[in-house]
Amino acid sequence: MDSWQNKKITVLAGGVGAARFLYGLQYIHPPDLITAVCNVGDDLSWNGLHVCPDIDTLIYTLAEVEGDFGWGIQNDSHQTLDELETLGEERWFQIGNKDLATHLIRNRILQTGGTLSDATQALVEARNIKSRIIPATNDPHPTFVVTNEGRLSFQQYFVERRGEPQVSEFDFPNIDQVSAAPGVIEAIKNADYLFFAPSNPFVSIDPIIQIPTVRDSILESKALRVGISPIVGGKAIKGPAGAMLESLGHEVSAYGVARIYEDLIDLFIYDEIDSKLVTKMESLSIKTRYCDTMMLNRKSRVTVAANIKELITSHTNEST
């Protein structure tokens, strides 16, 4: 079990799936040894406020205040949103009154010369979170979804159009100008374990790893690089990953995801419900393992983190 002690863990993270994994991880590992590098491709400007859905989901989940569907704050109210609607404003993106406090603090920091890293750190500290959460980049790096209804921002596609349009392609228009935020490259290079969280491979993980210096640092990292499947029993636990895999011609399964990550990872972990995929998985050039990965409540998140720790420990012992 020594292989796990005092190790530096970095997690490439999207929203809900990553947040649940990080929540469990914090219980079985010193939080100050854990860094989440978080996607910002879903960020949006809401009435001129910079909103970071993935970062906020991580913060709220680790602070145990997350809403029932994994985003926003629990028991929030909507008087500001109601008033905006009274004044003739569109209401497709829902922001609660408590949630607004986050965006106001971030806004103040950004308007007074701070970076998204600065704002994120302030919000993490304000909620007494001991792990590090850092944005993948401080540069504008939006994800556009090319669909049969046209090119949509991620939130237009996912929230306004409820993920219904057929996806043909993703577009990161700024990718050539994007630099990794401070600490990202170091967190990846210096990690002992680098996780690809159980997040959407296309719109959560890819916007991070498409940043050229990030991709290079993953390839150069001495970390054990571990992917965790967001697809269980042929379906995404949350969000549009299943529909995206299908419309882009991938197999809608943990195996489909493993193939996407094959060139970048050493070990792929998927749910035991998909144990029938084991033969296919063994055809890959990477190691694969399965265990219970279902993280629907807080207790099960800790169980899953412990399961994954055990798989990694046994994998490491086999390899040495």
- What does the binding site for a second copy look like in residue numbers (CB under 8 A)? 45, 47-49, 73, 76-77, 79-80, 82-84, 86-89, 96-98, 100-102, 104-105, 107-108, 110-112, 123, 126-127
- Phi and psi at 140, nearest 5°, equal -65, 125
CB-nearer residue toward a second copy: 45 or 317: 45
CB of 39 to a second copy, least distance (A): 23
CB-nearer residue toward a second copy: 102 or 204: 102
Per-residue 3-state assignment (H helix, E strand, C coil) for 14-51 = CCHHHHHHHHHHHHHCCHHHEEEEECCCCCEEECCEEE
CB-nearer residue toward a second copy: 89 or 272: 89
- Phi and psi at 35, nearest 5°, equal -125, 130
Reading the block at residue 178, the tokens are 């994007």
CB of 84 to a second copy, least distance (A): 5
Positive or negative torsion for Cα 253, 158, 147, 143: negative
CB-nearer residue toward a second copy: 95 or 295: 95
CB of 100 to a second copy, least distance (A): 5
Q: Contact at 8 Å (CB) between 144 and 121?
A: no
CB of 59 to a second copy, least distance (A): 11
Gap between the Cα atoms of 17 and 238, Å rounded: 8
Gap between the Cα atoms of 75 and 79, Å rounded: 13
CB-nearer residue toward a second copy: 100 or 305: 100
CB-nearer residue toward a second copy: 75 or 166: 75
CB of 101 to a second copy, least distance (A): 4
CB of 30 to a second copy, least distance (A): 25
Strand extents, DSSP E, the chain: 9-13, 34-38, 44-46, 49-51, 132-135, 144-147, 150-153, 167-171, 193-196, 224-228, 231-232, 235-236, 267-271, 287-291
Reading the block at residue 170, the tokens are 């993703």
